[in-house]
Amino acid sequence: MHFIDSSPTCHRPLSTRIWLQLLALGIAIGLLMLSGCRAGGPGTPARTVSAFFAKYRDRPGFRTTEWSADLLQRLALVRVGKLLGGNDLTNAITGIRTARVMSFTPTSGSAQGLVREGLNNEVSGLLQAERYTSLVNSNGGAATYQYVVKASGDQVSELVATGALPDALGSFVLVQVQGNFTRSQAEALSKVLPEVVQQTAGK
């Protein structure tokens, strides 16, 4: 007498298992490629704004200016504030702990190579990874800046701006301001940053 085994089998055909393994491998490779695109860049991608400043400080085409390193830079900010802002701007300037700008112009072959290797993608990727939230857009002369902040409710601890230098093809500007501001104070500060960049970073 023959008995028919009706219990469910635990084995899939070999071809099915191979197909599933290949599918899983393809998904894994796709995710790795997507991650690389978001955080790409020359060498090891910077994961934070501070790491980006440290990585490129002495590279060809880059110029870094510390705005709060001495009292004279702070006074320059105050003078601009008196011309262009009110109490919110004055209070924002008072709340600054550190402020710096990095400008980049691809004026040499090595600097242009950084652009080809994904420099701009690196900047965009680290801002996405750090989960900043959008603030406002402000026009400074011919340059348009994008602003993001790290905030808890109405309290802002960091303002980051990205943009470009006027009449400098392929250039970009990265500004990092850390301190203690309200959102309205950060918005007031964002309106003067392009002018301050022009005064302190230039071309």
127-155 confidence digits (pLDDT tens) = 887 889 998 765 544 457 899 999 999 99
Q: Is the pTM of this model over 0.75?
A: no
pLDDT digits 0-9 by tens, 64-87: 988 854 555 666 677 776 766 668
Highest mean pLDDT among 28-42, 59-73, 93-107: 93-107
Identify the residue whose tokens are 């026009």.
139
pLDDT digits 0-9 by tens, 101-110: 999 988 888 7
Percent of the chain with pLDDT over 70: 67
- Cβ-Cβ contacts under 8 Å for 95 (sequence gap 6 or more): 179, 180, 181, 185
